[in-house]
Amino acid sequence: MSTIRNVGIVGAGQMGCGIAHVCAAAGYKVQLYDLSMERIEAGLATIHGNLARQVSSGKMSEEERKAALSRIKGSNDVNDLSQADLVIEAATEDETVKRKIYGQVCPVLKPDAILATNTSSLSITRLASATDRAERFMGIHFMNPVPVMKLVELVRGIATEEVTFTTAKEFVATLDKTVTVAEDFPAFIVNRILLPMINEAIYTLYEGVGTVDAIDTAMKLGANHPMGPLQLADFIGLDTCLSIMQVLYEGLADSKYRPCPLLVKYVEAGWLGRKSGRGFYDYRGEVPVPTR
């Protein structure tokens, strides 16, 4: 079985930085790669802040925080991934973008390196076909926010070898995460169940059954959800929600997965949720205010 010591991460966004954080905290050397040094620097600052919060809440010591930070290096040179035993791609949820990344990353990887994707919905088998190592390719899907959420979905493609799967499973266990194994169907387990619920909440708003506040309050107090579905959609990103619903709708050819027109309209407006300042709530003031 492959021994993983060095982890490469492609993409210094919210997910990539979260994965870098937990890997470094678990003792792995981490190479964070992105085309933009600006994004890398912003990402490292986020990791710095999140680790500091873990110290203040008693989850780690100051020495552990410093040690974790010392294990993370950022770079915009793809060749710096050449020593990685495992590379996790955490780029945007766009198949064309991911395929392009694999074309750039695969030539610099060690022959026995495992390549994984953090995709939340796309076909692992299809993505693997864009690499030179389908046998050593699989889905390792972390949940957002990565340092807090305990679950990781492991997804094999049709060509994924058993040793790749076993290595990934043991690696995830060292991060103090719980594994659930999903088959390679659109959106896997969590998003196959979660996103249609969010989409239905948006239809409930679209059809005037309830306001944003009424819908979120109903699900928090009536179903004991920690966060209302529209608030959660804003947290995930409405563009990501739409992308996953489109994968479900196209991949399963069932009208029940049709993205709500209101979701499409919000994404077209650039109202993507928290990250853009507006979604089902307006985040530009001190307190989020419903936009409908």
Question: Residue 164: pLDDT above 60?
Answer: yes
Architecture category of domain 190-290 in CATH: Orthogonal Bundle (1.10)
Candidates 118, 120, 121, 243; catalytic one:
120
Helices (H), 145-287: 162-174, 190-206, 212-222, 229-236, 238-252, 261-268
Question: Which residues lie across from 6 on neighbouring strands?
Answer: 29
Question: Residue 1: pLDDT above 70?
Answer: no
Respond yes or no: is residue 183 known to be catalytic. no
As a whole number of Å, the CA-based R_g of the chain is 19
- Using CA atoms, how far residue 110 sits from 79, 80, 134, in Å, is 11, 11, 14
pLDDT tens digits for range 174-209: 999 999 999 999 999 999 999 999 999 999 999 999
Long-range contacts of 277-280 (CB under 8 A, 24+ apart): 279/233, 279/234, 279/238, 280/205, 280/212, 280/230, 280/231, 280/233, 280/234, 280/238
Respond yes or no: is residue 191 known to be catalytic. yes
Question: Which residues lie across from 138 on neighbouring strands?
Answer: 116, 156
Confidence of residue 238 (pLDDT cuts 50, 70, 90): very high
Confidence of residue 2 (pLDDT cuts 50, 70, 90): low
Q: What is the mean pLDDT of residues 112-133?
A: 97
pLDDT of the residue at 7: 98
Distance CA 23, CA 210 (A): 42
For the purposes of burial, counting CB atoms within 10 Å of the CB of 79, is it exposed (0-12), middle (13-18) or buried (19 or more)? exposed
Respond yes or no: is residue 120 known to be catalytic. yes
Candidates 6, 121, 123, 191; catalytic one:
191
For CATH 3.40.50.720, the residue range(s) in the chain are 6-182
For CATH 1.10.1040.50, the residue range(s) in the chain are 190-290
The mean pLDDT value of the chain amounts to 96
Q: What is the mean pLDDT of residues 42-55?
A: 95
- Please give the backbone phi and psi of residue 53, each rounded to the nearest 5 degrees, phi first: -65, -35
The fold for domain 6-182 equals Rossmann fold (3.40.50)
Q: Do 120 and 153 contact (CB within 8 A), yes or no?
A: no
Candidates 2, 93, 141, 199; catalytic one:
141
Respond yes or no: is residue 2 known to be catalytic. no
Q: What is the mean pLDDT of residues 216-241?
A: 97
Candidates 2, 50, 121, 153; catalytic one:
153
